Amino acid sequence: MIKGSIVALITPMSPEGDVDYASLQKLVQFHIDNGTDAIVSVGTTGESATLPVDEHVAVVQKTVEYADGRIPVIAGTGANSTSEAIELGDLMQSVGISAMLSVVPYYNKPQQKGMVKHFQAIANAATVPVILYNVPGRTVADLEADSVIQLAQHENIVALKDATGDLGRLAELRDRVPADFALLSGDDPTGCEFMIQGGHGVISVTANIVPKLMSDLCKAATGGDPELARQIDASIAELHRKLFIEPNPVMPKWALYKMGYSQSPFLRLPMVEPDISSQESLEKLLKQMALV
């Protein structure tokens, strides 16, 4: 089962906008050293929307190379065209990934039946496990609980990343999916309670900045120590909030630049660097947490 603290890794870039592979290697090692359980490469936080296919594949391939079997690498492979998602998955599977994360089709607003058929087609074509990714705040379409339950019966669909922040959704799913199907939060502010109430882990933006704390939080929340989990979560609650004062991944990229893990906070257009007020707000917190 894919579980625990799974980082939604940024894609570091040079001031000119090229992928910064030296910083990527440094970040992979940072997560291995601090107990992160798995890496999602080129998901939403990794700027999948603005990396062309060849670059997308190259970043995943390098992440697998740098991980060198020490930590699983999950590739972001979603698309709003089923055939495109399958093609991207085919390219990713050849570089040694452990699983693929496939987002709900965006913009075209498919029906529930269409989404079920979409993911079944992807899973039928895949040679690695598939993780469903439901994030209606970005895709508009919402993969409903009954659809997840139906898809969870497919032998190659092994988990759900749910970024709704709705703990009621977890309650709907928890007892109705197979025992080996992983329920993963995609919402840092509610991730702790998600795990305490029966979830198996979190695909986390905050883990980019404090991987050891997120690893400890996940171990406590899934290991029967809710008091410790809530204590750790309270200590990083303001970080959860400040990392989303501008659209993700604007703030985590800027934070890692300030922390010395990336040579620049560059984002591909149409994303741009954070406003000065946002920079100052997050930098103040990072100093309070002794991260810079």
Residues with active-site annotation: 133, 161
CA distance 57 to 76: 10
Closest CA to 173 of 203, 143, 146, 202: 146
Other CB atoms within a 10 A radius of the CB of residue 248 amount to 18
